[in-house]
Amino acid sequence: MGYNILLVDDSNVVKAVLSKILAGSSLSIDQVFDAANGVEALKTLNANSIDLVITDINMPVMDGFELIERMRLDAMLKNIPVIVISTEGSLTRVGQLEAMGIKGYVRKPFAADEIHAVVNDVLGG
């Protein structure tokens, strides 16, 4: 049985690139879901069994910070690992995210090997 991964980003291009990178990884991936913002992501999380969330921070409707906060407050979602991929690279911002319990951070623009490394690290591949 493979992993179910949720990609949360308001850019369809970024989601397409991430999907392609994940498809080429050595991990057994069952399904890749996607959402354009935190509200859509929470609906997907509540309707499916998700093993990993990869999210952007800056999105309309509900940003990545609020998504992570809401996940951490929900008993069913709080243990799902989160990797953040964002253009925001300040140490303060990354520190805030790490304090919220994220498992990985990748700065945009990213390379396929960076994504493979952090996903393999988080999922133990």
Question: 3.40.50.2300, 3.30.1370.100, 3.40.250.10, 3.50.50.60: which CATH number matches 3-123?
Answer: 3.40.50.2300
Domain ranges of the chain: 3-123
Chain-centre distance for alpha carbon 58: 13
**By three-state DSSP, how is residue 83 classified?**
strand
* DSSP run (H or E) holding 45: helix 38-47
> In this prediction, what percent of the chain has a pLDDT beyond 90?
90
Omega prior to 109 cis, within 30 of 0: yes
* DSSP run (H or E) holding 124: none
From first to last of its 125 residues, the chain has per-residue pLDDT tens of: 799 999 999 999 999 999 999 999 888 999 999 999 999 999 999 999 999 999 999 999 999 999 999 999 999 999 999 999 999 878 898 999 999 999 999 999 999 999 999 999 999 75
First to last CA, the chain: 14
Bridge partners for 55 per DSSP: 8, 84
Contact criterion met (CB below 8 Å) for 89 and 67: no
**By three-state DSSP, how is residue 52 classified?**
strand
Q: What is the reported pLDDT for 89?
A: 79
Q: What is the reported pLDDT for 124?
A: 78
